[in-house]
Amino acid sequence: MADLGGGGATMMVKRLRRRSDADAAEIHGVERDDHHLVPVSGGVTAQRPARVWEGRAACAWAAIFASMSLYWAAGGAIGGKTLGVEIYRLGLERDPSFVAQLWAAFALKALLAMLALALVQPWGRHLPRRLLLVLAGASGAGITLYAAGNLVQHALMASGTISTPKGLGTYAVPWHLALWDPFWLVGGLLFLAATHVFQKSR
């Protein structure tokens, strides 16, 4: 009888331990989507923060870019000369088609910010995973290629290898090389990094 009582106590302890581990996994692994359970000594699990800074940085980049488009669409003129002669002129004249393009650019960049957040926020789980991967990866690749192409082209203009279009103007070329092209490149790389982390972490 003593042996039977001891065995029953052991089984009860094991059941309680399994119940405790299951509860911990449910609390930390499901409800806290921004943490992962990792094994430590003694069979106990601990929380490890997931990498989310890439997605948040990509969101911040897109939000900053969207605010620029919003400012210019609303009639702001500061910084227009750094983009090009023709762009600056159209902005001052409030050309309807150009203003519409600015509003469209604002909406697109705002959507990019939401896309980046979807990669790291719990509500992103409700969206199709493959769709997020395709959209974020394509955005990152497209932005990166666009930035790299412009960087090379503007470098050739600055060196005199190719002529500078009148619509761009020589004043804007250094600004594109020092500010706009690197800014686009950073955004593209951030989206690629955020997509890679999202793909590996889920």
Q: DSSP H helical segments within the chain, as ranges? A: 2-26, 53-73, 85-93, 96-118, 129-159, 172-175, 181-201
What confidence category does residue 17 fall into, taking pLDDT thresholds of 50, 70 and 90?
A: low
What average pLDDT does the segment 125-154 reach?
Answer: 96
Among all chains, which residue has been given the structure tokens 């762009």?
87
**What pLDDT score does 200 carry?**
87
Choice between 31 and 191, residue whose per-residue pLDDT is larger? 191
Question: Tens of pLDDT along 141-184?
Answer: 999 999 999 999 999 999 999 999 999 999 999 999 999 999 99
pLDDT at site 201: 78
Count of Cβ atoms closer than 10 Å to residue 48 Cβ: 12
Half-sphere exposure of 167 (CA within 13 A, CB side): 3
Work out the percent of the chain whose per-residue pLDDT is above 90.
71
37, 63, 107, 190, 194 from 70: Cα distances, Å? 42, 10, 9, 22, 25
State the Cα angle at 69 between 197 and 52, rounded to 5°. 15
Q: Is the predicted pLDDT of residue 25 greater than 50, yes or no?
A: no
